[in-house]
Structure 1
Amino acid sequence: MEPSSPESKSKRIILTVVVFLLFGAWLYYVGWASKISARTVLMPEIPEWSTYLLIGSITGLTAAIRTLYKRPERKTAIQALNYFTGWFCLGFILSLNGYDTATYLLPGKIISYKSSYELRYPGPSRGKFGRCEAGLWIEDKSTSRWIELCTNKMDLDKNIQQGMQLVWVSARTNRIGSYIMSYTFIYN
């Protein structure tokens, strides 16, 4: 077995650092996008899940076909299926929350409006780590859809006083959806 040269060791180290940086950037994006997604409501006509499945399918098919044409004598249908499955999952995961981040990043107008609200206990799910203590349901005027925001009983007790039946909402809105920037409880 030949000892590896210092140049190949440095190339491996650089490649490893780049892979870890890309993975770290992807993890940061996933966290950032999921925070945005919790405050975003999309227009009813946006085909969110269909788009994510389509992107995953196109990515998977491209990888499978490319694999079969690269060296067809060495590839089997099972290997092509494995490539399709892996790349489908990657394309699907990378496209998740794409509409939500587009709603947040694309230009639009900032609107403010009064809305009715509803409180529910417990609140929305926080993934596999449980649920929020309370959920605040707000009707978004630009999309005519309801969104559930995560909150807790202490914040609600501090901000809601007797007789406050409405919420004043500030939202950034565009043709894709609305991003709820802030809300304040108000009297009718």
Structure 2
Amino acid sequence: MLQMKLSTLEEKSKKIVFSVIAFLLFGAWFYYAGWASSISARTVLMPEIPEWTTYLLIGSISGLTAVTGTLYRRPGGKIAKRTLDSFIGWFCLGFGLSVNIYATAAYLLPGKIISYESSYEITYPGPSIGRFSHCEAGLWIEDTNTHRRIELCTNKMDLEENIKQGMKTVWVSARANKIGSYIVSYTFIYK
């Protein structure tokens, strides 16, 4: 009887430890996803970076690896459903973990600080925030390192405070490397 109580106590302890570890890993991934998303909003990648191809490839490799493991560990019965479930689950996990890796690499890898002058365009509404909302206004600038345009999130009040009559350009500071540019700051200037 005592042996049975100890084994159930050990099983409960293992479940609690596993749950805590899973919760911490999910929390860490959730924090990383928010952090990487905020970085990607101010990052312009080089045109030759295969961003979506890489995400899909990592997801596919994760899914295929899981399918292989599933087939070898549990052969027999309902193989098509198990294989499909395993592939979809691990594809989504690999895809989700790889999103924004290029933006975070452009932010974290060493590079030089560059400053340049760019024309700008303001649009209403601005870029999307999440699934159902947008920034109040968007500020389009062209990055000289990547030769691509980026839309930064801003609002009417900030624009009214910083843009005076006759300011036709913006002075941009960015951290640039071989992957892309991270826009550090910008200031409206007279030209």
TM-score (norm 2): 0.94
Unpaired runs of 5+ residues, structure 2, are none
Confirm or deny: 8 A CA contact 1:67 1:75 kept in the other structure.
Answer: no
Distance 2:80 2:12 in 1: 36
Distance 2:8 2:64 in 1: 38
Match of 1:184 among 178, 183, 187: 187
Matched, 1:162 2:142: no
Match of 2:139 among 128, 136, 141: 136
Aligned to 1:152: 155
Match of 2:9 among 6, 11, 15: 6
Give how far 1:74 is off: 4.7
Q: Deviations over 1:100-138 (max 9, x none)?
A: 001001111110111111001111111223111000001
Matched, 1:36 2:39: yes
Q: Secondary structure at the match of 2:139?
A: strand
Q: Deviations over 1:155-177 (max 9, x none)?
A: 00001111111111010111111
Give how far 1:40 is off: 0.4
Number of aligned positions between the proteins: 187
Question: Amino acid of the residue matched to residue 16 of structure 1?
Answer: S
Question: Amino acid of the residue matched to residue 11 of structure 1?
Answer: K
Aligned to 1:21: 24
Distance 1:35 1:149 in 2: 11
Question: Amino acid of the residue matched to residue 149 of structure 2?
Answer: W
Distance 1:183 1:177 in 2: 17
Aligned to 2:76: 73
Give how far 1:9 is off: 2.2
Distance 2:80 2:68 in 1: 10
Unpaired runs of 5+ residues, structure 1, are none
Distance 1:81 1:57 in 2: 12
Question: Amino acid of the residue matched to residue 92 of structure 2?
Answer: C
Q: Deviations over 1:55-107 (max 9, x none)?
A: 00000000001110123235612211110111011101110001000100111
Distance 1:14 1:41 in 2: 41
Q: Deviations over 1:14-38 (max 9, x none)?
A: 2211111111111100100000010
Matched, 1:127 2:117: no
Q: Secondary structure at the match of 2:157?
A: helix
Match of 2:118 among 115, 134, 140: 115
Give how far 1:12 is off: 1.8
Distance 1:29 1:60 in 2: 22
Matched, 1:45 2:54: no
Distance 2:8 2:91 in 1: 37
TM-score (norm 1): 0.95
Identity %: 71
Distance 2:63 2:144 in 1: 38
